[in-house]
């Protein structure tokens, strides 16, 4: 599956991105936050109040590595 397909598939169900102010920017600029990374790795919907999405986290998520 291509990365673009994976992003689309990931965002079709309940996700930490639902209702997030950064959602459109993350989608168009290839950004991700630690909440999204945790959800991809564990399925946890625990969210933080102050998210800071970055391209570095996005690259890590879609390369399959974990952020400490």
Model confidence over 13-59: pLDDT tens digits? 788 999 999 999 999 999 999 999 999 888 888 888 899 999 999 99
- 28 contact partners, CB below 8 Å, separation of at least 6: none
Query: Residue 4 pLDDT > 80, yes or no?
Result: no
Cβ-based neighbour number of residue 51 at 10 Å: 18
Query: Residue 66 pLDDT > 70, yes or no?
Result: no
């Amino acid at each position: 599956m291509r990365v673009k397909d994976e992003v689309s598939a990931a965002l079709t169900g309940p996700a930490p991105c639902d209702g997030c102010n950064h959602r459109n920017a993350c989608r168009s600029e290839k950004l991700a936050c630690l909440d999204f990374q945790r959800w991809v790795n564990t399925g946890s919907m625990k969210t933080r109040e102050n998210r800071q999405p970055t391209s570095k986290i996005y690259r890590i998520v879609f390369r399959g590595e974990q952020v400490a």
